Amino acid sequence: MGVAVVGFVLTLVVSAAVAPPISNAPSSDLSGRTVVGVQSTSTDGKVVMLDSDGKEVWQYGHANGYHDVSWLPNGTVLASFIDDGYRRCGPYESPCARTGVRVIDPNPSPHVVYQWTFPVRSGLNSEVHDAELLPSGELLVADMDKERVFTVAPNGTVTWQWNASERYDPPSDPTRTDWLHINDVDRIGPGRYLVSVRNANELVVLQRGKGVVNVINENGDWRLLNKQHNPQYLSKNAVLVADSENDRVVELHRRNGTWGVAWQVHGAGGLGFDWPRDADRLPNGHTLITDSRNNRVVELNRSGKLVWSARINSLPYEADRYPGEYPAGPPVNSSADIGPSATKLPVFGYLLDSARHVVSLPYWVAGWHVAVGGVALVTFLVGLWLFVRGSKKSVA
């Protein structure tokens, strides 16, 4: 009975001792500033700015969670967020959650200089995961509540929108279910936007006035993309994607009209990725990756070698290196399959992933720890039952 428990504790101690470090290596860009949006596993979301050594310079919270973050030309940070406890709820019951964007000025200390929000039915899977300031001054927004992409003028007027129901068969009320989970939109040309439709495993290109003009992974093949996040447009024939549920980052190229994997990386620094949700190709050709469930941000060079990493607690969502993700660095010019893959036990891996949404666990905890812990618990309970039963017989 005690041996099983001791054995389980020893596996945890040994795993922690031999786990590769999360934070190490100096940045290749000593002037680089990296801002990170932290979703959080509770209600303490934050925006964090790191220096070139991966050390925190400042942070700003005051929200349940943050998602997309991006540097603006004047040094402020545009951040999408969600928070609850609001009384102005429109068609929804009060109190409610509101989601939208904040512009955070880090000087002289972090504070909000602009905020725009709208009410949503639920504080979960209804957040604005991504927003972008357009050259026109409009805000480009990916709306998961009503599953649409729209632009809004500085005065709050919606100037254009595309409803996903124009392409996909909608439920009776998209605000009551996590239907498509549209989680990203990027401007890739005048009136032209790249959109991540997560639950369909698709990327679509929208053209204002025309609608959908191109689709990547049109049949939703999970082997190519599986619940992806934050695609980055590299060229008309190349896109970089955090292929989240496949625990990898991929660069897809279009050849002879067909999209396929040209480059993929499964891990960094001896540790397999676990639900990466952002990947940016930097101007120098390196790739900046947010490895969410491992609670870290990493930078890889062209060959996939780790050159910089930083630990970020509580489920980081996206990272942006100053001065921003566009213009993007070049596509790869040779195929590669890089890095260690994370090994997941089918049932126990799912249980662990679910637990990470609720609590922050050490990055080195794996599905097999859950399996060993389960066996240890069952062994302990059986041993305890036999002990109690034997004690009762002795008394009798």
Q: Which residues pair with 96 in a beta bridge?
A: 86
- Domains, the chain, ranges and CATH? 24-339 (2.120.10.30)
Strand locations in 106-191 (E): 111-120, 128-133, 139-143, 148-152, 158-163, 182-189
Residue 337 to residue 327: CA distance in whole angstroms: 25
Q: What is the mean pLDDT of each run of 10 residues along the chain (396 residues)?
A: 54 50 52 90 93 94 98 97 96 96 97 97 96 97 97 95 97 96 98 98 97 97 98 98 98 96 95 97 96 96 92 96 94 81 58 56 58 64 67 64
The answer to whether the CB of 367 falls within 8 A of the CB of 374 is: no
Put the strands of the sheet holding 211-216 in their side by side order: 182-189, 192-197, 202-207, 211-216
Structure tokens at 25: 């290596």
Token pair 């190490």 is found at: 24
What is the structure's pLDDT at 86? 97
What is the structure's pLDDT at 1? 53
Structure tokens at 162: 């595309």
What is the structure's pLDDT at 339? 73
| DSSP string across 224-268 | T-SS-EEEEEEETTEEEEEEGGGTEEEEEEEETTEEEEEEEE-EE
What is the structure's pLDDT at 51? 94
Eight-state DSSP code of residue 87? S
Token pair 């999360």 is found at: 22
Residue 324 to residue 176: CA distance in whole angstroms: 34
| DSSP string across 69-80 | EEE-TTS-EEEE
pTM for this predicted structure: 0.84
| DSSP string across 280-318 | EE-TTS-EEEEEGGGTEEEEE-TTS-EEEEEE--S-EEE
What is the structure's pLDDT at 15? 45
